[in-house]
Amino acid sequence: MKTIHLTIDGKKVTAREGENLLWTALDNGIYVPNLCAMRDDPEPMAACRLCFVEVAGRDRPVTACTESVVEGMEVNTRGQAALKLARQGFELLMASHALDCAHCASNGSCELQQIARHLRVSLKPRRLRRMERGLPVDDSHSQFIYDPNKCVLCGRCVRVCREHLGSGVFGFAHRGFQRRVTTFADLPMGTTECDQCVRCVDVCPTGALVRRNGQPHSPATGASQSSSKTEQAPP
């Protein structure tokens, strides 16, 4: 496949023509906030609305996970319009998130914390009224605990479970504010046909899915943060 050249935040990089812009940035040490992206997804979910970037020639920011790189592309991940959209999306997300970092097994490895640092915003929304869902925690499974109140609806667990099992244990149910990840007929996790591979835990970006021993997802198998250690903070 043809190699093309593009510029991201003033850094000249190379990539294969048609590669995904989000992964191109991450693989070159340029962090772009994201929650729902998974490498090699045939169709990006584009649900979290956090990976906004500005592309020269476009009249508005675009989501990096839905863009393919082209020769000569100029990308700015830190433009004010893109950052504003990402910050607004993050604030809306956190307004219904059960925030309890001090007692969360994912504290320190949670991708929400990383995004907040990058965007330079508080995890606790300052302008929006809190609307926590108050859903029951499911601790029926022998390998992991599921807290839907910490779920950000990224869909990673749904996709990896379907890929691994064919049909999958996880799925989305309900609409609007009531939308959540659950099992068929809302059965307890421990009563499903889960084969206990715990890949769902490994891809969860928050503390929604954690192992019973208190361990969160493994940084080595996280779905979207392959280059996050070299993130660049916006101005």
For residues 220-231, average pLDDT: 42
100 and 205 in a single domain? The answer is yes
With cut-offs at 50, 70 and 90, classify the pLDDT of residue 191: very high
pLDDT at 218: 57
Assigned domain for 220 exists: no
For the stretch 134-166, pLDDT in tens is 899 999 999 999 999 999 999 999 999 888 767
Confidence label for 133 from pLDDT (cuts 50, 70 and 90):
confident
Q: Which residue has the higher pLDDT, 214 or 68?
A: 68
Residue range(s) defining the domain that contains residue 14:
3-92
Strands 62-63 and 180-183, how do they pair? unpaired
Regarding whether 114 and 56 lie in a shared domain, the answer is: no
Per residue in 88-119, pLDDT tens? 999 999 999 999 999 999 999 999 999 999 99
**Is residue 235 domain-resident?**
no
Last residue of a domain, one of 69, 92, 115: 92
Per the CB < 8 A criterion, the answer to whether 170 and 144 are in contact is no
Q: Let me know: does 189 contact 169? Beta carbons within 8 Å.
A: yes
CATH of the domain at 187: 3.30.70.20
Average pLDDT value for residue range 58-81? 97
Q: How far apart are CA 38 and CA 157, in angstroms?
A: 10
- Considering the domain architecture, whether residues 100 and 201 belong to the same structural domain is answered as yes
pLDDT of amino acid 227: 41
pLDDT at 221 over 70: no
Q: What is the mean pLDDT of the chain?
A: 88
Q: Same domain for 200 and 114?
A: yes
Q: Do 120 and 87 share a domain, yes or no?
A: no
Of the three residues 92, 124, 149, the one that is the final residue of a domain is: 92
Among 210, 172, 199, residue whose Cα is nearest residue 38 = 199
pTM to 2 decimal places: 0.87
Do both 100 and 206 map to the same domain?
Answer: yes
**Chain-centre distance for alpha carbon 175:** 20
200 within a domain of the structure (yes/no):
yes
Higher pLDDT, 8 or 39: 8
What total number of domains does the chain contain? 2
Same domain? 109 vs 174: yes
Helices within 120-170 (DSSP H only):
156-165
CATH number (domain holding residue 75) = 3.10.20.740
Within a domain: 228: no
Sorting pLDDT into bands at 50, 70 and 90, what band is 184?
confident
What span, in angstroms and rounded, lies between the C-alpha atoms of 54 and 77? Answer: 6
